[in-house]
């Protein structure tokens, strides 16, 4: 999942999908509004037979629909990657049709070569964009097949984490799909500094006394670039934490324990970092507690004192 602001490769993926969306929308609009002009503008189309305005507009609508879907996906490509896939699906099948026609001799290799950049190029760019995100695991879990998600989610985790995820995955009425929609909200970070953000999460999690959950928080902090020695400082609740980390850690604890000092600590954070960052910290501290609560409800928690807490 994406944590923090998009980097250069994230933006590249977003721009690729945006570009294809604009192309498909403009191309489709051209076909819908000026079908005969579109027909005469493409020599390879003229070679296929006389024009049919209704048929041209039908294809134009398909292009425009793909364009709208891809533009929607490009706004938040990490969360809407499945929409990008859907938007590229018809474009891809259209390309497959062209490949089939040249393979059986319906169209000439020269005509295929002339059409290929506009027919095969757009869906290929979308799949390149999705490949960039998938390779870096920068996508939201919604839409990822259950077996693939479980394979990656249960690697190097405590047995209780594996068991509770598998129990949710086996529950009826798409419980796991609903759960995957919740997960990105629990780790939403955009403006907050990584060390402050994860200190809050750790404070809230440690207050729940769930050792495996604390280690899961630690792994997310590692993914987000927090140094191991900093994480280990939180895991042992080191009293010599830097002031900013201690403030964030205590804020997470206060939210988890419903401490009255949460107001004062939150005000200090807001004065230092701003309202948006306070919101991000409060949101993750509140939502990260759902994981130990779920395990406790299933009888799968293990106290921090019974878990080796170190990364």
Domain of 240, CATH number, reads 1.20.1290
| Residue where a domain terminates, one of 112, 135, 158 | 135
Structural domain contains residue 167: yes
The whole-angstrom separation of Cα 84 and Cα 246 is 41
Residue 159's pLDDT band, with cuts at 50, 70 and 90, is low
Listed residue (260, 279, 258) closest to 269, CA to CA: 279
- CA quadruple 102, 103, 105, 109: dihedral, nearest 10: 40
Angle between helices 275-288 and 194-207 (to 10 degrees): 30
| Residue where a domain terminates, one of 135, 162, 190 | 135
When mean pLDDT is compared over 108-117, 124-133, 141-150, the highest value belongs to: 124-133
Listed residue (31, 140, 7, 30) closest to 85, CA to CA: 140
For residue 49, pLDDT beyond 90: no
Cβ contact 140:79 at 8 Å: yes
Give the model confidence (pLDDT) of 212-267 as tens digits: 889 889 999 999 999 999 999 999 988 889 999 999 999 999 999 999 999 999 99
The whole-angstrom separation of Cα 114 and Cα 51 is 19
Q: Residue 36: what pLDDT?
A: 95
Helices and strands (H, E) in the chain, number of each type: 17, 0
Structural domain contains residue 119: yes
Structural domain contains residue 311: no
Q: Residue 102: what pLDDT?
A: 92
C-beta atoms surrounding 25 within 10 Å = 19
Per the structure, the complete domain to which residue 261 belongs is given by: 146-306
**Overall domain count for the chain:** 2
Does residue 200 sit in the same domain as residue 267? yes
Structural domain contains residue 3: no
Structural domain contains residue 141: no
Burial of 229 (0-12, 13-18, 19+ CB in 10 A): exposed
The whole-angstrom separation of Cα 188 and Cα 2 is 8
Structural domain contains residue 187: yes
Structural domain contains residue 27: yes
Does residue 181 sit in the same domain as residue 211? yes
Average pLDDT estimate for 79-99: 96
């Amino acid at each position: 999942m994406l944590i923090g602001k998009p980097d250069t490769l994230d933006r590249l993926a977003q721009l690729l999908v945006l570009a294809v969306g604009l192309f498909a929308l403009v191309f489709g609009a051209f076909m819908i509004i000026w079908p005969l002009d579109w027909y005469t503008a493409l020599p390879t189309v003229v070679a296929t037979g006389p024009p049919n305005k209704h048929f041209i507009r039908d294809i134009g609508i398909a292009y425009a629909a793909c364009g709208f879907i891809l533009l929607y996906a490009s706004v938040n490509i990490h969360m809407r990657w499945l929409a990008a896939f859907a938007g590229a699906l018809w474009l891809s099948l259209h390309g497959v049709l062209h490949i089939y026609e040249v393979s059986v001799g319906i169209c000439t290799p020269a005509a295929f070569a002339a059409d290929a950049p506009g027919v095969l190029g757009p869906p290929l760019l979308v799949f390149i964009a999705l490949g960039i995100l998938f390779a870096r695991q920068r996508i939201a879990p919604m839409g990822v097949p259950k077996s693939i998600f479980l394979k990656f989610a249960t690697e190097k985790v405590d047995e209780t984490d594996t068991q509770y995820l598998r129990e949710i995955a086996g529950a009826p009425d798409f419980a796991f799909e609903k759960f995957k929609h919740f997960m990105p909200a629990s780790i939403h970070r955009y403006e907050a500094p990584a060390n402050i953000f994860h200190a809050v999460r750790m404070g809230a999690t440690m207050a729940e006394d769930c050792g495996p959950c604390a280690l899961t928080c630690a792994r997310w902090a590692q993914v987000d670039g927090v140094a191991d020695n900093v994480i280990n400082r939180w895991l042992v609740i080191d009293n010599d934490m830097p002031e900013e980390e201690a403030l964030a850690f205590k804020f997470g604890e206060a939210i988890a324990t419903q401490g009255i000092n949460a107001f004062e600590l939150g005000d200090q954070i807001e004065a230092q970092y701003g309202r948006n960052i306070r919101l991000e910290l409060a949101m993750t501290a509140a939502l990260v507690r759902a994981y130990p609560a779920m395990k406790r409800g299933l009888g799968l928690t293990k106290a921090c004192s019974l878990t080796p807490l170190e990364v």
